[in-house]
Structure 1
């Protein structure tokens, strides 16, 4: 985003220079204007949006984040935004409806023409989080028996109402998908060739599939769009690359936030209210606070052991820190492998065994180093306790950290829920149990 646009808009709006503001907005692409509006304050944001031309207003509104769209609706009022809302694509309309209060959503839907409302209802009929709720029902299709010339005419006739024409589904009777053909393949070969001779086997998703998984396939395989089907293989809609990219980016932001023990912010940081920032963090802190009680209980349990060998207390931060980091590293690696399809819940045994070996190797290396340092500064007994604990803690932490995301996925829970702070707290408690148990056995206390 161009910071000069943001500064210029603020200055023009502060001077009540509406003509200059409108002229300034016409010089930038809708994506740049949308990114700038998200950072403007509430009154200025609404004023700037009102100054956009009719066509530009739709493009800018579509480029806004859903949370920013909701905020703009609240500022402008239902009547002012109804015209833009009615011209949105059905899938974009559904995303915004999910953000709005039910009363506002119902009122806005009344402003939509009946045919558009029917297409929106098709998308609304699928569960939240499914790819069916993110597909566009506005597409143009051709038949395998069409000539390329006839198919191209069909695209010309229906392409204006279609969200994408670069990947065209090929269907038989009953909307059964048999292939896809690119616009390039319609244009370049002789017009008398049949579509069947140039179509390719399609990549597709079922409407009830998880939207994130389907979107990742679309992005990773670099296709411009792919069909969405029902379980009877009938074509329902298309998932476009721009929607797939938004889904993947939103999932990435959510995973990154949860890995840090918070919920993602829906608006730019400087425009997010303090209450919303607090709300995004407090639940996680409460959960981790309750979990940390386990660590305190373990310390109380081995209080007598600490009184006999006070030196053991000096190594607690080292051991808990290494254990937590080892578990977090494993969890982060496996969560990413899940996201890109390199691992599945059924691979939990293989993943756990791989992380067990990796943890054991890490623990061996760190254990030898810990034994040498502790023996040099204290005695061989303390050195042995530190070395054996590092070996055990690293092995356990890596195994648990690697298995947790897979177990979460199998239970239908977001793997990112098992975030770094949660795993760290778990490893702290278990690591202390291992530490003091080994100390009692080795030192005879």
Structure 2
């Protein structure tokens, strides 16, 4: 029966405690790349450095490339300088750039200068682009073809240089000035007659400029079900490609950020079990403080309508139900619209259509919940109170769905991350407005 990850972790911990380096070296050599990554992510930084040094060289590079940039930076600080330089040279240019972003500027400069001239020429230009741009995440290593080449020449070029390229499944074609003309797939080359000019085979393909958002480029890659998208500069000269694998990583990071912010915290920059407690606290406490301060609005609303609560104490019993329903309704709408924005299904200019749809959705759900609330409150307490609860649920659901649907679109329009309008924020907003609606309806129906 194969060992589980827990078994491997237990054995690793015991060998580290016993300082049995020979057995540890054997164990690390036997692990698959995936298992090695999972083991090293779950140990503290000092033990991680020890275990990493025991990996075979080729395996060490493969494992290192799978780490998050923050973990890579911590590991670099624990390794000896000549180990660091050798490892840095082996990385792909896009991985180097991601790592340099996490290191102190003096360390990053030293590593960049230590690269061979060819590798430095590939890496340095990428640092000139914005951190969220595709120019920062692309690969400058690819097989470039010219229109004069034949299919046979192209396949020979793939055999000669393909091992150094990020991908050979999509091959860009340029003129002598590197201006992009089109692309050809490896499958097209393989099925064409060797004498066929590649100029007869190429086709149009999704192209993005290096200053474009990396997330948008990644989504374009998936939308077209392409092995890569081509990256050009402002003069339409070929400078790189973004592969499907890179796109998948970018989208995964974006979804992690959105999920964290939707829960009212900042995304962790390293694996959870190896993240210090204080780092986790910092990622959460800012939003909690903001939400705690905004919750004062709810307290003030209750204070304003204190006389209504004193007159009809039963009103207080339904406050959790109403505020919870409003918050959940708003959060559902915000999450749905944020997701639609990310997928390109809606844009800020579609706000009228989105609002009209969310008003109908909220009103329909409110009518269903309101009917239920009316019956329960009427049977258990009083039919006048049932009218208050039913009408409030209808109003709150309609308002919350409308506001929740609008906020991500407004955020996108003004250049703010829609995920910032997270579930806790909308819940707090709906709490305050929901209570105002509740007490105004109670005042009108019950005369309190």
Distance 2:189 2:303 in 1: 75
Q: Does 1:305 align with 2:278?
A: no
Q: Is the 8 A contact 1:12 1:21 kept in 2?
A: yes
Over aligned residues, Cα RMSD in angstroms? 1.7
Report the counterpart of residue 147 of structure 1 in structure 2: 150
Aligned counterpart for 2:206 among listed residues 191, 203, 207: 203
Q: Does 1:97 align with 2:100?
A: yes
Distance 1:216 1:18 in 2: 45
Residue 81 of structure 1, CA deviation: 1.2
Q: Is the 8 A contact 2:362 2:398 kept in 1?
A: yes
Distance 2:349 2:82 in 1: 51
Q: Is the 8 A contact 2:367 2:393 kept in 1?
A: yes
Q: Does 1:441 align with 2:444?
A: yes
Residue 5 of structure 1, CA deviation: 3.5
Report the counterpart of residue 14 of structure 2 in structure 1: 11
Q: Is the 8 A contact 1:374 1:386 kept in 2?
A: yes
Q: Does 1:277 align with 2:280?
A: yes
User: Pairwise mapping of residues 172-183 of structure 1 onto structure 2 (< 5 A)?
Assistant: 172-183=175-186
Report the counterpart of residue 359 of structure 2 in structure 1: 356
Distance 1:121 1:78 in 2: 21
User: Pairwise mapping of residues 17-32 of structure 1 onto structure 2 (< 5 A)?
Assistant: 17-32=20-35
Distance 1:340 1:215 in 2: 11
- Mean Cα deviation higher: 214-223 or 256-265: 214-223
Report the counterpart of residue 253 of structure 1 in structure 2: 256
Residue 18 of structure 1, CA deviation: 2.3
Residue 77 of structure 1, CA deviation: 4.5
Residue 292 of structure 1, CA deviation: 0.3
- Mean Cα deviation higher: 91-100 or 241-250: 241-250
Q: Is the 8 A contact 1:35 1:64 kept in 2?
A: no
The secondary structure found in structure 2 opposite 1:99 is coil
Q: Is the 8 A contact 1:131 1:214 kept in 2?
A: yes
> Could you give the per-residue CA deviations for residues 1-20 of structure 1, whole angstroms, max 9, x where no partner exists?
84444333333333333233
TM superposition score normalised by structure 2: 0.95
User: Pairwise mapping of residues 156-175 of structure 1 onto structure 2 (< 5 A)?
Assistant: 156-175=159-178
Distance 1:273 1:383, change over 3 A: same
The secondary structure found in structure 1 opposite 2:31 is coil
Aligned counterpart for 2:377 among listed residues 369, 374, 379: 374
Distance 1:32 1:245, change over 3 A: farther
Q: Does 1:431 align with 2:440?
A: no
Residue 220 of structure 1, CA deviation: 4.4
User: Pairwise mapping of residues 377-416 of structure 1 onto structure 2 (< 5 A)?
Assistant: 377-416=380-419
Aligned counterpart for 2:123 among listed residues 120, 123, 139: 120
Aligned residues: 445
Report the counterpart of residue 226 of structure 1 in structure 2: 229
4+ long deviations beyond 6 Å:
none
Residue 394 of structure 1, CA deviation: 0.3
> Could you give the per-residue CA deviations for residues 211-265 of structure 1, whole angstroms, max 9, x where no partner exists?
1121122234432221112233221101122221111111111111111111122
Q: Is the 8 A contact 2:147 2:174 kept in 1?
A: yes
Residue 183 of structure 1, CA deviation: 1.8
TM superposition score normalised by structure 1: 0.96
Distance 2:157 2:253 in 1: 35
Report the counterpart of residue 88 of structure 2 in structure 1: 85
Residue 443 of structure 1, CA deviation: 1.6
Q: Is the 8 A contact 1:178 1:202 kept in 2?
A: no
Distance 1:406 1:66 in 2: 31
Residue 43 of structure 1, CA deviation: 2.5
Q: Is the 8 A contact 2:217 2:229 kept in 1?
A: no
> Could you give the per-residue CA deviations for residues 51-79 of structure 1, whole angstroms, max 9, x where no partner exists?
22222221111111112111111222444
Q: Which runs of 5+ in 1 are unaligned?
A: none
The secondary structure found in structure 2 opposite 1:168 is strand
